[in-house]
Chain A
Amino acid sequence: NAGVMQNPRHLVRRRGQEARLRCSPMKGHSHVYWYRQLPEEGLKFMVYLQKENIIDESGMPKERFSAEFPKEGPSILRIQQVVRGDSAAYFCASSPGTGSWETQYFGPGTRLLVL
């Protein structure tokens, strides 16, 4: 049973470009969460999605960031017009969606570097 998949594992962008990060949840999981981890800091919640629905985006910056989880295909975290401060590790997690506050399983992360 494959775990949570994320790609790319490393992404380099110049300021002003767009970054697209993909996450395929664990098989059988319908809930996806995105987190950002800055160097030497903890994980910060960004957004919680179910298929075709954003459940909680309270952690998403108001501008330039968006997320989706379409009916088919992976969840996408999109960052437009990247700035150096966006450089971080972005982790995706998934859970089955069968109960409240169930365990989340993390993917290997995408490390974004903005030059």
Chain B
Amino acid sequence: RKEVEQDPGPFNVPEGATVAFNCTYSNSASQSFFWYRQDCRKEPKLLMSVYSSGNEDGRFTAQLNRASQYISLLIRDSKLSDSATYLCVSTGNQFYFGTGTSLTVIP
């Protein structure tokens, strides 16, 4: 079983839509979680850390559900510039990256 599983998508949504991604992790002892964004042929860039209490940064909200072992990312009022692949990360002995969820925001 993979450490981190994500729905690869693709998600194609119109501008202004709200879209949510989920990610499950297998290691119940994982302590830290992150969402990264990766544009085509570029390096991953940190989008936000995920805290137990949930956290919000502008249009982005991340939540952690330890009981069900999943993390989520909600993007409100999608912009064209949000088009990218979103990678979730859990930690154990190392950083475990999901394979990413592809998002395309359509005009």
Contacts and interface: CB of A to CB of B under 8 A. Distances in A.
Interface of A: 33, 35, 41-45, 48, 56, 58-59, 89, 91, 100-101, 103-109, 111
Please indicate which of the listed interface residues B32, B34, B44 has the most CB atoms of chain A within 10 Å of its own CB: B44
Interface stretch (B10-18, B64-72, B93-101): B93-101
Contacts of A59: 94
Chain B interface extent, by class: 20 to 34
Interface of B: 31-32, 34, 41-46, 49, 87, 91, 93-100
Given A42-B87, A103-B34, A103-B49, A58 B93 contact: yes
Main DSSP-derived SS at the B contact region: loop
Contact of A45 (B45, B87, B96, B99): B96
B31 A101 contact: yes
A91 B43 contact: yes
Contact of B42 (A41, A100, A108): A108
Contact of B43 (A41, A42, A107): A107
10 contacts: A33-B94, A42-B97, A42-B100, A45-B95, A59-B94, A91-B43, A101-B31, A101-B95, A103-B34, A109-B43
Contacts, number: 47
Contacts of A111: 41
A45 B94 contact: yes
B98 to A, nearest CB: 6
A53 B7 CA distance: 37
B43 A56 contact: no
A58 B95 CA distance: 12
B4 to A, nearest CB: 8
Contacts of A33: 94-95
Interface centre among A45, A56, A58, A107 (most CB of B within 10 A): A45
Contacts of B34: 103
Q: Which of A41, A56, A59, A103 has the most B CB atoms < 10 Å from its CB?
A: A103
B64 to A, nearest CB: 14
